Structure 1
Amino acid sequence: MSSVTLTVPDSDIEQARTVVPEAARVALVLGSGLSGLADIAEDACSLSYSDLEGFPQVGSVAGHAGRLVGGRLSGVPVALFQGRAHPYQGVSAHDASYPVRLAAALGCDTLIVTNAAGGVRETLSPGDIVLLSDQINLTGRSPLTGWAGPEGGTPFVPMRDAYDPGLRQSAVAAALETGVEIEPEGVYCGLPGPAYETPAEVAMLRTLGADLVGMSTVHEVVVARALGMRVLGFSLVTNAAAGVGLSHEEVLEAGRAAASDLTGLMLAILRGL
C-alpha cells in the first residue's frame, strides 16, 4: 500500500488561507537572491514556513527568507514562496515539493519557478535570464516514488511539455514589451548538491544537452505536472559552472543585480495572465 500522497495537512491550508487570497491561481517559488519580488506585493501578508506543519523544517539558506507571502502583483492574486527546502539539506524529493503541493491545495493552477543556476552552455554569462524549455533530473530521486497516482489513474506523469509552451510564448512577449533581454530556451539540469560541479561534471552535462545546472526545481516541476498545473520557469545565470572562486555570496549578488529586470519581467507576465 502506497504511503506517499500529494496532499498537505488541512491545518496548513487553513494557515495559508490567512495570508493567500482566495482568488489566487498563480504561485511563484522564488530562488536564491530572487525573493525581492515579494517585497513589492500589494496588500501583502506573510507567515513563516515554521508555522506550517508539513513544511520541512531544515533551517533557512542564505538568500531564502523562508516565508509564504500572499498578495497581488500587477493586480493578480498570488501566492509567493520565498525560498524552498532542498534535498541537500537532508529532505526527501517528495518533501522538497511541498510548496507546490500547498499551492495546488490552495487552488493555484499555474506555477512559476525561479532559480539561480550555473551556466553550462558556453554562450551563457552571469546575469543572463533564461526561459526554461526542458529539464533533466540527475538527482537520483523522484518526488513521486511510492505515489499510486490520482484516483482512477496511474503514477506515470507525461513530461513532454513540462514547461508550458503557451506560457513560454507569453513570457517571450512580455520580454519584448519590457525590453528585458532573455535567452528564449534552456535545459535545466538538477543535481543533488551541495557541492558545486567539477569541470569534468560540467563537460558531462554539456554532452548530455544541459544548458544550466542547479540544486532545485526539478522535483517541484514533476509534482506540478502530476497535479495538472501549468509551469513556467526561469533561471538566472549567476556563474559559469565550475567557475574559479565561485561562492554562494556571488550567487546572491548576481540575483541582486538582476532584480530589477526580473521584477519588471514577472510583472509583465502576470499582467498577461
Structure 2
Amino acid sequence: MMESRDTHKEQVERAVAFLRSRLPTMPEVLIQLGTGLGNLVEAMDNSISIPYEEIPGFPRSTVTSHAGNLVYGTLAGRPCAILQGRFHYYEGYSAREVGFPVRVLALLGVRTAIITNASGGLNTAWQAGTIMVFKDHINQLPDNPLRGPNIDAWGPRFPDFSQPYAPALRKLARQAARRLGFTELKEGTYICIPGPSLETPAETRMFRQWGADALGMSSVPEIITALHAGLQVLGLSVVANVNDPDDFIPILLEDIVEAAMQAEPKLQEMILEIVQEL
C-alpha cells in the first residue's frame, strides 16, 4: 500500500520539531559519513550526539560500520550536523526513507550538503585510496526518493539535474587538496547499484562502458533529496579498491572498510578546509 502524502509529511515535521527542541542553533552544513568514515565528529567543538532511534521517523542503521548518530556541533567555526552512518536500499528501506534525514535537515535550514562514502573503483587508471569528487552520477536503484505525490513547498515536481554537483564546491575541494598536498584527487562519475551482492566482472565491464569511474550502494537517494530541496551538494568518495574485470580479485567488505579508514584522515582534513572556506 502506497504511503500517504500526509503520513510522510507528518513524519518529517515531527522529526523537524524534535530537533528544533534539542539543538541550540540550526545547522548550516550537513555532512554525511559513510563506511569507515565516522571519526570526523572528533574534530567538532561543543558537540551533541543524538542516536537515530531517539529521533521520530528516523530509520535504524543495520550496518555494523555505521554508528547511527546525528552529531551537532561547530566545525571550522560553522554550525554543522553530521550524519554518522547512513541507511541503504539493500537494508530494505525505500529511497525516500534513505533520504529522510536529509529532508529533515534541509527543513531545519541546512543549505550545503557534503555527502561522503567508500566506493569500488572502476577506472583502472586510479589507485586504491584515491579520493573522488563527484562530477555526475548514475542511479541504478529501482526507486527514487521523489516517487509519489510531490510536496511543492519542499521542491519542484521535476527538479533539474543538469548540474547536480555545485561547481563552486568542486572547486573548493580541488583547492583544498592542492593546499594539503593531496595528489590522488580525481573527479569522476559515481554509479549507485542496489546491492547487497557485489558486482560481477561482466557488470564491472558494463559500468565502465557507461562512463562510471566508481560504484557503491549508497548516497544517491540522499543526493537526490538534497537537490530537490535546493541544497548545494558536494560528493566525495574514498575509492577503496580498483578491480580490472579481466583480472578480477575477490572483494571483501572488511578490506573496503580498512581502506576507507586508512584514507579517512585525508578526507577529514579536506572537509575541514572546505567547510572553513564556505
TM-score band by shorter chain is over 0.9
Contact 1:2 1:147 in 2 (8 A): no
Unaligned 5+ runs, structure 1: none
Q: Distance in 1 between the 2:133 and 2:10 partners?
A: 29
Which residue type is aligned with residue 108 of structure 2? Answer: L
Q: Distance in 2 between the 1:152 and 1:23 partners?
A: 18
Q: Distance in 1 between the 2:129 and 2:103 partners?
A: 30
Q: Does 1:215 align with 2:217?
A: yes
Q: Report the TM-score, using the length of structure 2 for normalisation.
A: 0.92
Give the total of aligned pairs. 272
Judged with a 3 Å threshold, the aligned counterparts in structure 2 of structure 1 residues 20 and 255 are, in CA distance, closer, same or farther, namely farther
Judged with a 3 Å threshold, the aligned counterparts in structure 2 of structure 1 residues 162 and 6 are, in CA distance, closer, same or farther, namely farther
- Aligned partner of 1:113 in structure 2 is 115
Higher mean C-alpha deviation, range 207-216 or range 179-188: 179-188
- Aligned partner of 1:143 in structure 2 is 145
Shift, 1:60, TM fit: 2.7
Summarize deviations over 1:105-158 as a string: whole Å, max 9, x none: 211011000011000111122111011100000112111110325149741111
Contact 1:19 1:70 in 2 (8 A): no
Shift, 1:78, TM fit: 0.2
Shift, 1:212, TM fit: 0.6
- Aligned partner of 1:24 in structure 2 is 27
Note the 1:253-264 alignment, pairs <5 A.
253-264=258-269
Contact 2:119 2:215 in 1 (8 A): yes
Contact 1:32 1:62 in 2 (8 A): no
Contact 1:94 1:143 in 2 (8 A): yes
- Aligned partner of 2:102 in structure 1 is 100
Shift, 1:236, TM fit: 0.4
Q: Distance in 1 between the 2:267 and 2:138 partners?
A: 24
Judged with a 3 Å threshold, the aligned counterparts in structure 2 of structure 1 residues 44 and 121 are, in CA distance, closer, same or farther, namely same
Q: Distance in 1 between the 2:22 and 2:176 partners?
A: 28
Q: Distance in 1 between the 2:235 and 2:10 partners?
A: 23
Q: Percent identity?
A: 38
- Aligned partner of 2:75 in structure 1 is 73
Q: Does 1:205 align with 2:210?
A: no
Cα RMSD after superposing both structures: 2.0
- Aligned partner of 1:270 in structure 2 is 275
* From 122, 125, 128, the counterpart of 1:126: 128
Summarize deviations over 1:177-225 as a string: whole Å, max 9, x none: 1222343411000000001100000000001110010001111111111
Shift, 1:62, TM fit: 2.1
- Aligned partner of 1:249 in structure 2 is 254
Which residue type is aligned with residue 26 of structure 1? Answer: V
Contact 2:130 2:186 in 1 (8 A): no
- Aligned partner of 1:236 in structure 2 is 238
Q: Name the SS of the counterpart of 1:132 in structure 2.
A: strand
Contact 2:129 2:184 in 1 (8 A): no
